[in-house]
Structure 1
Amino acid sequence: MPSGKVFLISGVTDMRKSIDGLSLIVAETLEMNPFSESWFIFCNRTRDKLKILFWDTNGFWVYYRRLEKGTFKWPKPSYDGAIHISKQQLSWLLSGLTLNHAKAHRPLFSLEV
C-alpha cells in the first residue's frame, strides 16, 4: 500500500504511455510532483486496464493490471483532473467495488467523549 496520497487521474489515459509519458501528465497537466510519495492511477477507455505510477527512492515503479473479465468502477471525470482517494477506496477499486461502497462504515471525525 502507498505511503503517501492516492490520486485517480480522471478521464481516460492511453495505456501505451510508459513512465515518461505518465509522469509528464502528472507534472504538466495536473501540475503535481511525480517525485512525491503519492500514487497516481490511470485507467483506459474501456476501464479494464490500470497503471499505477509512483516514485520510490531512486526510480519510478509502474504497476499494470489488466482484467480478463469485467471493468473497474472508475469515477466520472472531475474538473481538476485528479481525484484524491483513501487507501481503503483504492483497495475497493482494485477489488471491483465502487469508491463509495454502500456497506462500508463512513469515517467519523471530531468526536468527543
Structure 2
Amino acid sequence: MLINFYDPKHVYIVCGKTDLRKGIDTLAIMIADNFGMDIYDDSLFLFCGNRNDRFKGLYWDGEGFILLYKRFDNGKLTWPRNSNEVKALNHQQIEWLLKGLNPLPKPKVHQASKGAFF
C-alpha cells in the first residue's frame, strides 16, 4: 500500500458529494479555501462522489501531494451526505469506513464558509 491510512496525524472525511474528476490542485484549494484547513499538516483528506464504491484521498507527504483513488470490487462505503462539513476520523472510524460501516457517530466537525459550493 502506498500510504497507510493510519499513519497520518489527521484523517478527515469531506462529507457530501465531491466531483471525483477534480485533481490535486482543485481538491487542495477546496480544503484550504472552503474549510480553512492546513493541507500540509500531515493530514489525509478523503472525498466521495456519487457512487459509494470509490473514493479519493489527498495527502501531502512532505515533498508533494499524493492523490489516492480506491474502488471497491465488492462492497460500498457508507458516506455521510450532509454537505459542507469535514469530519475528523479516528483509527476505529477509518476501519469502519473501509469496511462499509457508518464511521461517524460524533466526530469533530469543521463547517464550510458561507457561499461555498462543491
Q: Does 1:14 align with 2:19?
A: yes
Q: Name the structure 2 match of 1:53.
A: 58
**Gaps in structure 1 of 5+ consecutive residues:** 102-113
Partner of 1:7: helix, strand, or coil?
A: strand
Unaligned runs of 5+ in 2: 1-5, 106-118
Instruction: Report Cα offsets for 1:17-68 as digits up to 9, x if no partner.
Output: 1111110111111111111111110001122210111111111111111123
Question: Which amino acid in 1 is paired with 2:50?
Answer: R
Q: TM-score, normalised by structure 2?
A: 0.75
Name the Cα RMSD after superposition.
Answer: 1.8
Taking the aligned partners of 2:22 and 2:9, their CA distance within structure 1 comes to 23
1:87 aligns with 2:91: yes
Greater CA radius of gyration, 1 or 2?
Answer: 1
Cα gap change, 1:93 to 1:35, in 2 (>3 Å): same
Measure the CA separation in 2 of the matches of 1:74 and 1:33.
23
Instruction: Name the residue aligned to 2:111.
Output: none
Q: Quote the offset at 1:76 in angstroms.
A: 3.7
Q: Write the letter of the residue equivalent to 1:56.
A: D
Q: Say how many residue pairs are matched.
A: 100
Q: C-alpha displacement at 1:3, in angstroms?
A: 2.6
Structure 1 runs of 4+ off > 4 angstroms?
none
* Structure 2 residue aligned with 1:109: none
The code of the aligned residue for 2:63 comes to: N
Q: Alignment partner of 1:71: what SS?
A: coil
Query: Does the alignment pair 1:42 with 2:21?
Result: no
% same residue = 35
Q: Note if 1:67 corresponds to 2:72.
A: yes
Over residues 76-95 of structure 1, what are the superposed CA-to-partner deviations in whole Å (9 max), with x where a residue is unaligned? 426x5101110221121112
Normalised to the residue count of structure 1, the TM-score between the two structures is: 0.78
The answer on whether the counterparts of 1:4 and 1:37 sit within 8 Å (CA) in structure 2 is yes
Q: Secondary structure at the match of 2:68?
A: strand
Distance in 1, matches of 2:29 and 2:7, equals: 20
